[in-house]
Amino acid sequence: MTETPKTRLLIVDDETAQMQALRETLTDHGYEATGCTSGESALAALQVSSFDLLLVDLMMPGMDGIALLRSALQADPQLVAIIMTGAGTIASAVEALQAGAFDYILKPFKLSAILPVLARGLALHRLRLENAALERSVRERSAELEAANIELDAFTRSASHDLRTPLNSVIGFSTLLAAKYGSQWPAEAVTWLGNIEQAGNRMNRLIEDLLRLSRLGHQALNLELVDAGALVRSVVDELRLGQPERRLEVHFGELPQVMADASLLRQVFVNLLSNAYKFTCRTPQPLIEVGCAWEGTERAFYVRDNGAGFDMAHAARLFQAFQRLHSVTDFDGTGVGLTIVHRIVKRHGGRIWAEGDPGRGAVFRFTLAGVD
């Protein structure tokens, strides 16, 4: 069985007899006590050996207790120092506490008063060692994560480039074949070629979504005051320009200012509104509502539509990557957009949830920590 190491105690007092008596007494009580009669000799001892506790007299010739205390703590920040002082120098003892001493004990000594102070000091020393070890572990882990993120980012960029090069060739040559020989081929062959081009474009969008998703993990937030109303209206205007043939009604509710990363918040509304546009494409009178309302004790943005909706039994899958609740033949998409939205909202200290009913539409709500 491993024996618990004794507490290492350095006693510093210019009165030799008193120092020796205290050292012998504390040794009898299980401490590994070392004695010095000056601040200079104590600093020399600290350079040679490590100690858990420092018990130092406040008033000494040459280097006094406060000067020794400061030098000792500079050499070993985890060291716990306790000042010994007479009743007439308590004000100086307070100064020592301000300089970093843990506690003080009064002369003449009473063992019943010294032992509890030493026990508390030892507990503090152990806590300091544990905190130092934890901070060191966090720094090491942070460095490992940073290195892993750099490697992952480099791999993602390299992989996306390596994937896109042949993919662009597939899409490009498919387009050329259709343009040059499409009129000479059977309708079935032209359809197959169109399917190849559509699949290539879908793969391109998937690569772009994966790149965006990978960047979210380590992209720094640039928080600023964002006018959510102006941002949402600009997103809707872009969607309307992209699909000028659509006759779709959009109602805007209250949209307050919010502390957020403007580009990431824009991505949230782009994804949610694009989904609303997509899933109302077969609705006779499509309607989208965007606003912000109280949900219990917090305000939540919402995007509501009267489109295809979804079965609430599958709601848990909505924000998982590559999970689709509708067939790609019915509604195009990569299955990554809502995952991106979920991660952005979480990085802003918020949460997101959804409600839906097949054939009757869906509503997505999300909160942000910076909503006024």
Task: State the pLDDT at residue 256.
Answer: 92
* pLDDT (mean) for 79-100: 78
Convert the pLDDT of each residue in 182-226 to its tens digit.
Answer: 888 888 888 888 888 888 877 777 777 667 666 666 667 889 999
CA angle 31, 34, 35 (to 5 degrees): 130
CA angle 361, 326, 308 (to 5 degrees): 20
Task: Tell me yes or no: is domain 8-109 CATH 3.40.50.2300.
Answer: yes
Locate the DSSP E strands across 241-323. 249-252, 257-261, 287-295, 298-305
Task: State the pLDDT at residue 195.
Answer: 84
Chain-centre distance for alpha carbon 182: 53
Query: Is pLDDT at 288 greater than 90 in this prediction?
Result: yes
Q: Which residues pair with 32 in a beta bridge?
A: 8
Task: State the pLDDT at residue 191.
Answer: 86
Look up the pTM and report it.
0.52
Contacts of 252 by beta carbon, 8 Å cutoff, 6+ apart: 229, 232, 233, 290, 291
Do residues 354 and 339 lie in contact, with contact meaning Cβ atoms separated by under 8 Å?
no
Query: Is pLDDT at 335 greater than 70 in this prediction?
Result: no
What architecture is domain 223-366? 2-Layer Sandwich (3.30)
Query: Confidence class of residue 295 from pLDDT cuts 50, 70 and 90?
Result: confident
Range name among 21-25, 36-40, 79-83, 194-198 with the lowest pLDDT average:
194-198
Convert the pLDDT of each residue in 116-172 to its tens digit.
Answer: 888 898 888 888 888 888 888 888 888 877 776 666 666 666 666 667 778 788 888
Query: Is pLDDT at 337 greater than 60 in this prediction?
Result: yes
Q: Which residues of 274-287 are buried (b: 16+ CB within 10 A; e: fewer)?
A: bbbbbbbeebeebb
Q: Which residues pair with 354 in a beta bridge?
A: 364
User: CA–CA separation, 169 vs 162, rounded Å?
Assistant: 12
